[in-house]
Amino acid sequence: MTPASDAVDPAPVLVLDHLTRRYGSLTAVDDVALRLPPGARHAVIGPNGAGKTTLLNLIAGTDRPDRGTIALNGADVTRASTAKRSRLGIARSFQQPSVIGELTVLDNIVLAGWAHHPKRRGAWRSPSRYRLHTESAGRHLETVGLAHLAHRPASELSHGQRRMLDLAAALAGDPRLLLLDEPAAGLTDGDIGRLLDILGALPESVAVVLVEHHVEVVAQVATSVTVLAAGRVLVTGPTGEALAHPEVRDAYQNTAPVSGEAPDLVTGSAPDPVTRSPEARG
Ligand code: ATP
C-alpha cells in the first residue's frame, strides 16, 4: 500500500521519522514514520494498547521519544517544549476537556486565545486587543455551535458541550495541526453528528490527527489512516484501503477489547464502515 501523500507533494506540516518510545521492556511506539501534508485529515487507529495515545503525546510534547524525530513545518521540534510547539501551531483537544467552570463560555475561549498570543502579557491591558479576541472567540463558538451559550457559565455545559468548548479553545490559537484525542468518546449520537459537522467545516489550513475508536467518525472525517498494532505501523494509506486491509481485521480480532464502548473494529464484527447505519452505532 502506498503512503498517504498528495500528487503535488506540498511541504509537509508534520514528519515523524523512526519515532520510538519505550517504557522499560515495552516499546509503546516502535519506529513510526509519518508524513502529513497541510490540511491532512489523518486518523490513527489500532487495538487497545497499540500506542495511539503515546504517539499523540509525543507529537504534542507531553512525552519524549527515545529515538527518532518530529518535524513541524520543517522545524525539528523533537526536543521542543509543549509551549513552543503550541506557539508553532500544534493544538490538542482532550478526552477530558479542560474547561474553567467559573468563567463564561466566551471567556474560556478569550483566555485560550490570549494564551497563544505572542504579546500575551500586555494583552490584558489593551481594550482593542480584548475586543479582537472577543470577536474571534465568538467566531470559534459559532464554529462549534455554542454561540447561543456564550454568556453562560461554562459549569452549566453538558459533557458534549464541554468537549465542543475544548475544541473551540484548541482552535483559538489558529493551529496548523490539531490533535484530537478520541473526540467522539462519551458523546451521544446527536453530539457525534454535530462533531462530524464541525470537523467537516474546519478550515483546510488546519491539519488534523485524530485518535478515534468510532469507525464511522474515522470513515467520515479521515482521508488517510495509520493503523498501529503493538506500537508499529501496520498500514498507512487512504482510509478505505487501510480499513479494508486484511491484516487490520486480524490485528483487532487478536486483541481483547478493554472497554465496552463498542468500537466495532475492536470486536472485529463491523460491516463496511462507510455503509454502517446509524442504528448500528454503539
Ligand atoms: P487505548 O486505545 O486503550 O487508549 P492506546 O493505543 O492509546 O490504547 P497507549 O495508551 O499509547 O495505547 O499505550 C501503549 C502501551 O504503552 C500500553 O501497553 C500501555 O500500558 C503502555 N504505556 C502507556 N503509557 C505508559 C507509561 N507512562 N508507563 C508505562 N507504560 C505505559
8 in a structural domain: no
> What does the block give as the cell for 67?
529515538
- Say if residue 280 is in the same domain as residue 197: yes
Q: What is the 234 CA–ligand 1 centroid distance (Å)?
A: 17
Residue for grid cell 519506529: 31
What's the rounded Cα separation, in Å, for the pair 78 and 67? 10
Q: Please name the residue whose Cα sits nearest to atom 21 of ligand 1.
A: 28
Residue 280 counted as domain residue: yes
Please tell me the distance from the alpha carbon of residue 21 to that of residue 231, in angstroms, as a whole number: 9
**Mean pLDDT confidence for 269-279:** 33
Ligand 1 atom with the shortest distance to the CA of 228:
6
Domain assignment of residue 143, yes or no: yes
Residue of the nearest CA to atom 26 in ligand 1?
A: 23
CATH code of residue 54: 3.40.50.300
Give bridge partners of residue 45 from the DSSP assignment. 227
Supply the range of the domain harboring residue 142. 103-173
Percent with pLDDT over 90 in the chain: 50
Residues 45 and 77 in one domain: yes
The Cβ of residue 7 has, within 10 Å, a number of other Cβ atoms equal to 5
Q: What is the pLDDT of residue 120?
A: 55
Residue pLDDT, tens place only, 173-193: 889 999 999 999 888 888 899
Residue 3 within any structural domain of the chain: no
Q: 26: which strand partners?
A: 23
Position 253 in a domain: yes
Residues 6+ apart with CB under 8 A from 277: none
Question: How many domains, in total, are found in the chain?
Answer: 2
Same domain, 197 and 279: yes
| Cα 48 to ligand 1 centroid, rounded to whole Å | 8
Instruction: Say if 47 falls within a structural domain.
Output: yes
- In the predicted model, is pLDDT for residue 62 greater than 80? yes
Instruction: Give, in order, the Cα–Cα distances in Å from 185 to each of 40, 55, 56, 154, 158.
Output: 22, 18, 16, 20, 14
228 CA to centre of ligand 1 in angstroms: 12
Query: Residues 209, 37: contact at Cβ < 8 Å?
Result: no
Could you tell me if residue 95 is inside a domain? no
Residues 148, 280 within the same domain: no
Those residues with Cβ within 8 angstroms of residue 3's Cβ, 6 or more apart along the chain or in another chain: 35, 236, 237
Q: Is residue 281 part of a domain?
A: yes
Residue 117 C-alpha cell reads as 498570543
- Convert the pLDDT of each residue in 214-232 to its tens digit: 888 999 999 999 999 999 9
- Cα 223 to ligand 1 centre (Å): 25
Q: Which amino acids bring their CB within 6 angstroms of ligand 1?
A: 23, 26, 28, 46, 48-54, 258
Give me the phi and psi of 106, to 5 degrees please: -65, -45
Are residues 169 and 187 both part of a single domain? no
> To test the ligand 1 pocket, which listed residue (19, 26, 180, 228) has its Cβ within 8 A of the most ligand atoms?
26
- Cα distances (angstroms) measured from residue 94 to each of 26, 87, 97: 25, 18, 5
Which of 111, 146, 173 is where one domain is finished? 173
> By alpha-carbon position, which residue is closest to atom 24 of ligand 1?
54
Å from CA of 157 to ligand 1 middle: 30
* Pair (66, 107) in one structural domain: no
Is 70 exceeded by the pLDDT of residue 132? yes
Q: Measure the CA–CA gap between 51 and 231, rounded to whole angstroms.
A: 5
Domain boundary (123, 147, 173) is at: 173
Summary mean pLDDT of the chain? 83
Q: What is the pLDDT of residues 26-36, one digit of tens each?
A: 999 999 999 99
Within this chain, do residues 141 and 114 fall inside the same structural domain, yes or no? yes
Same domain, 129 and 249: no
- Final residue in a domain of this structure, among 149, 173, 197: 173
Mutation test residue for ligand 1: of 53, 59, 182, the one with most atoms within 8 Å of CB: 53
Kind of pairing, strands 14-23 and 67-72? Answer: antiparallel
The phi and psi torsions of 43 (rounded to 5 degrees) equal -105, 145
Please tell me the residue having the least CA distance from ligand 1 atom 16: 28
Q: How far is the CA of 266 from the centre of ligand 1 (A)?
A: 16
* Whole-number pLDDT of residue 215: 85
Question: Ligand 1 centroid vs 137 CA: distance in angstroms?
Answer: 34
For residues 69-87, average pLDDT: 94
